[in-house]
Amino acid sequence: MAKYGKSAAKNVASTMRRKKKGTLKSGSGRKVKSRKQAIAIGLSEARKKGAKVPRKSSRKTSRKKTSKKK
């Protein structure tokens, strides 16, 4: 089963084109130079439009601290 919908793929593709052109800007207003950042922006925009995109990984946002017992 596909993780991402077709509309999400189109959204990411258009974001990559904007990055290549040099018109893609991040939230702070600076030009996006990173490929990974451009993809993240495209997926975020697709999420806002209601496209089929998996949730952000909770693993990255919150990590549990493990303590070792001696």
pLDDT in tens, 12-29: 999 999 999 999 999 999
> Does the pLDDT value for residue 38 go beyond 90?
yes
Residue 35 lies in a domain: yes
pTM for the model stands at 0.72
- What is the DSSP secondary-structure string of 23-62? --B-TTSPBP--HHHHHHHHHHHHHHHT---PPPPHHHH-
Q: Which domain holds residue 12?
A: 6-52
Question: Number of folded domains in the chain?
Answer: 1
pLDDT band at 66 (very low <50, low <70, confident <90, very high): low
Residue 60 lies in a domain: no
